[in-house]
A and B are shown apart, each in its own frame.
Chain A
Amino acid sequence: MAEGTIQNKDEFLNRIAGKLGRKKAEPVTLPEWKHQPQWEVFKNSAPDDLLAAFCKSSKAKSAFVIQTEVANLETAMKDAIDKYGGGLIVTTKDGRFEEFGLEPLLADSKTHVWDADLGKRNIEIAKQANIGVIFSDISLAESGTIVQFNDKDIARSVSLLPVTYIAIVPQSTIVPRMTQATHRVHQAVAAGKGISTCINFISGPSNSADIEMDIVIGVHGPVEAVHIVVTDK
């Protein structure tokens, strides 16, 4: 991306300042909020309780949930792939696949690992793929949500274009709710670190209730979703 620009700022903001009773914007310190109910949700919950809540919430979001240990993850993955029709698979480029013993999945001839060097061809492959496999970076117990920090390797398309996404959810990534995830991003920003261009909160397959308020699963994103929760890593 080239250098950015701003147009028509001063006149616009000075007008707003004028309406608010000052000549121009003055520095503001964010107050300590009086009301912060968000921190009370699942406060002091044990990891196993969060895991149970994550599984329950995922199901409520129409995701199929599998619980397994690392030693059985490869088998669980194979079963899930078979259950959802096999075929062409696309994965993100993520060191955790090896870390979690999933080399055989990557080595399979029907698997395409996202490779930024191949350019737009990746998108063509993802479009044809039946299943996209990703890791969750942060997982929300309250809502069965997986969070991805997308970049050139953790590509947005993998969880978006295929008919089904399978998300591997290490138990250690489960937090009570969105509060903890956004707090982490806030801390990164406050520390002057760059953040991902797309921070994606995904909760199950795409859906719509636009026709007579009837919920239809599967609109422009995936039609099916699988959350494989890995318990001992």
Chain B
Amino acid sequence: MPMKIGEKPFFGRVDDALENNFMRTAMASAQDRLRGRKLDATVRDEQIGDWEEWRSAGEEIRRHTLENLDYYLEQLSENFSRKGGHVYFADTAEDATRYIQEVAKKKGAKKITKAKSMVTEEIGLNEALEEIGCEVFETDLAEYILQIDDHDRPSHIVVPSLHKNKEQIRDTFRDKAGYTGTEEPRELTAFARSQLREVFLQADIGITGCNFAVAESGTVSLVTNEGNANMVTTYPDTQISVMGMERLVPTWKELDVMVNLLSRSAVGQKITTYITNLTPQLTEDSVDAPKEFHLVILDAGRSNALGTEFQSALHCIRCAACVNVCPVYRQIGGHAYGSIYQGPIGAVLTPILGGYEEYGELPFASSLCAACTEACPVRIPLHEQLIRHRENYAAQKGRTGERLAMKAFGIGASTPALFQGAVKGLPAIMKPLAEDEGISSGPGPLKLWTAVRDFPAPGNGNFRSWFKNHKQEGDS
């Protein structure tokens, strides 16, 4: 399945989400826990010194790397191939899946194991491999849960099955995989372990994403906890790693800083249980290592951001810290975004990758409170980019209503008599709509707000007249 989730228009998806009380409670609770863990491992951890210094270090590294992306990708590909690895630069999702299909066919692959990877979700790799007769096994626990639940879609970048509770998972395991145990997470996890144990050892190809590639040595680095990524990259004879073209660092020294930022920001850990760094080698003679190693470097719309005001969106390291503080994500959950990339970074990145035609409304799924920008470990100005997207979208779509409204506001606000008239007239216009202190069914643009919550009724006075009176009282 590609980047897109669902067929309904944006506001239809939001309506669905708002009706799903269970999901909204689950999201709020998960957000609180993830955010709390992050704070414990960052600003509250005295051992690492000033967290702001770390953020600046991350920003500095990412900016330099993206400004010289062509050079570092060249270096990465040369070092990877010199050691016997195969590099494929894929312009589009289709190019990437076609290449991987060809490798699978050449190897006569039947079983394929996969570690968690959003980029392979983005390109719809599972479907492409199933199309040519391969059996694909997701092995990350959350991805495994989604896969056996009729290919449900991810609702969070780091914990894709966040929208499901343990009872639902128990029922899915029971109905789809013959599970007979309880809803205890320990028991459910043990079941997944037993189901996948042999599969890991029998697979023909192992597929991973790539948290960071290291240009100086041609290394793919994976940041994980469950041990599945190690299983996927140890036993199959062929390994394929797919990376977004921006996911690299110049040297191992920068890898250190980025892994620290990612582990702490994503899951509140000083370091994840496994940091697995894999490099091809011409003289590979280990019994338990792949004999063939492919690296697919994917553009698929990323270059749209290069050299533009959105370039820093490519600094993202997919930690989801912005998702975990977003008040809009808290209310509507992940699926409502209609993209596998959710929350503030999803609303910035998805239109870059998929265009305004399909995703232009996503940047409006934000209160512009800037909590995302504050949370970002590499200081991407997310809320500012959301505003830029809105401007571009309005300009491109020629949204007459919105443009007229802004123009009218401009005229009204720059003409004192009109402005004062409007301010004074507002209570009179709104009063008939108000019940008690709130408006529960507003007209026009207010409708979207009042569908979910009351809008406060305007008071009888206004700030200008209050200030004038107050000043007069003060003067006398």
Contacts and interface: CB of A to CB of B under 8 A. Distances in A.
A160 B234 contact: yes
B90 to A, nearest CB: 7
A8 B83 CA distance: 19
Contacts of B235: 123
Contacts of B161: 210-211
B142 A210 contact: yes
A21 to B, nearest CB: 6
Contact of A4 (B80, B89, B256): B80
B86 A33 contact: no
Given A33-B61, A214-B185, A152 B271 contact: no
Interface in B125-148: 139-142, 145
Given A142-B270, A208-B226, A211-B169, A37 B70 contact: no
A156 B50 CA distance: 36
Interface residues on A, range: 35 or more
B280 interface: yes
A15 B80 contact: no
Given A116-B287, A157-B234, A210-B141, A16 B72 contact: no
A210 B145 contact: yes
B277 interface: yes
A221 B188 contact: no
B168 to A, nearest CB: 10
Interface residues on B, range: 35 or more
B57 A3 contact: no
Interface stretch (A23-31, A79-87, A94-102, A130-138): A23-31
B273 A183 contact: no
B68 interface: yes
Contact of B276 (A30, A37, A198): A198
Contact of A16 (B165, B282, B292, B303): B303
A150 B233 CA distance: 13
B253 interface: yes
Find the residue from B192, B256, B283, B297 having the highest chain A CB count within 10 A. Answer: B256
Contact of A206 (B226, B284, B299): B226
A186 B47 contact: no
Contacts of A203: 271-274
Given A26-B71, A35-B53, A207 B166 contact: no
A107 to B, nearest CB: 23
9 contacts: A3-B282, A5-B81, A22-B70, A122-B288, A156-B286, A160-B234, A210-B161, A213-B34, A219-B141
A6 B47 CA distance: 43
A212 B286 contact: no
Contacts of A157: 234, 288
Interface in A32-84: 33-38, 40-42, 57, 61
Contact of B70 (A20, A30, A181, A210): A20
A7 B234 contact: no
The 10 A-B residue pairs with the shortest CB-CB distance, nearest first, are A221-B227, A1-B84, A4-B81, A206-B227, A201-B275, A19-B306, A12-B89, A35-B57, A25-B70, A220-B227
Find the residue from A11, A35, A190, A205 having the highest chain B CB count within 10 A. Answer: A35
A152 B227 contact: no
A155 interface: yes
Interface of A: 1-9, 11-17, 19-22, 24-28, 30-31, 33-38, 40-42, 57, 61, 116, 118-120, 122-123, 127, 140, 142-143, 145, 150-152, 155-157, 160, 177-179, 181-183, 185-186, 189-190, 194-214, 216, 218-222
Find the residue from A11, A127, A152, A205 having the highest chain B CB count within 10 A. Answer: A152
Given A182-B253, A186-B252, A16 B260 contact: no
Interface in B10-66: 26, 29-30, 33-34, 47-50, 53-54, 56-57, 60-61, 64
A201 B262 CA distance: 15
A151 B284 CA distance: 8
A1 B280 contact: yes
Interface in B239-280: 245, 250-253, 255-257, 259-260, 267, 270-280
B280 A185 contact: no
Interface in B78-106: 78, 80-91, 95, 99
A192 B140 CA distance: 36
Given A116-B286, A220-B200, A198 B277 contact: yes
A186 B252 CA distance: 5
Contacts of B70: 13-14, 16-17, 20, 22, 24-25
Contact of A1 (B30, B166, B284, B306): B284
